[in-house]
Amino acid sequence: MENFLNKFFFRSSNLNYISHSVANLTKQTPANKIFEALNTYSDNSEVRYVGGCIRKIIKKEVVDDIDLATNLKPSEVCDALKKKI
């Protein structure tokens, strides 16, 4: 496993490409509004890209859907989005 991680992250420019692609995804989609709403809901709230969109970025494919995960309860997500969006 360590060998795989070294190859993936340290021996290639993949990490820069992934970071740049994730930043562009946030800038080029309405996801930035969701991130802002959820991340500012409380001091402990977090939201992250997960799943297929990350896999597609890694594989240099077109991202056609966005998956997010948060540590908020569903009712808190609704509250946060109602307040900001």
Q: pLDDT tens digits for 15-71? A: 788 888 999 888 888 889 999 999 999 999 999 999 999 999 988 999 999 999 999
Helix H or strand E segment including 44 = none
With contact defined as beta carbons under 8 Å apart, do 69 and 48 qualify? yes
- What local confidence, expressed as pLDDT, does residue 54 receive? 92
Identify residue 50 by its one-letter amino acid code: V
**Does the pLDDT of residue 9 top 60, yes or no?**
no
pTM: 0.74
Quote helix, strand, coil % in the chain, to nearest 5.
Answer: 60, 10, 30
- What local confidence, expressed as pLDDT, does residue 19 receive? 87
State the Cα–Cα distance between residues 38 and 7, nearest whole angstrom: 34
- What local confidence, expressed as pLDDT, does residue 40 receive? 94
Show the domain range for 78: 2-84
Number of domains in the chain: 1
Range 65-78 average pLDDT: 96
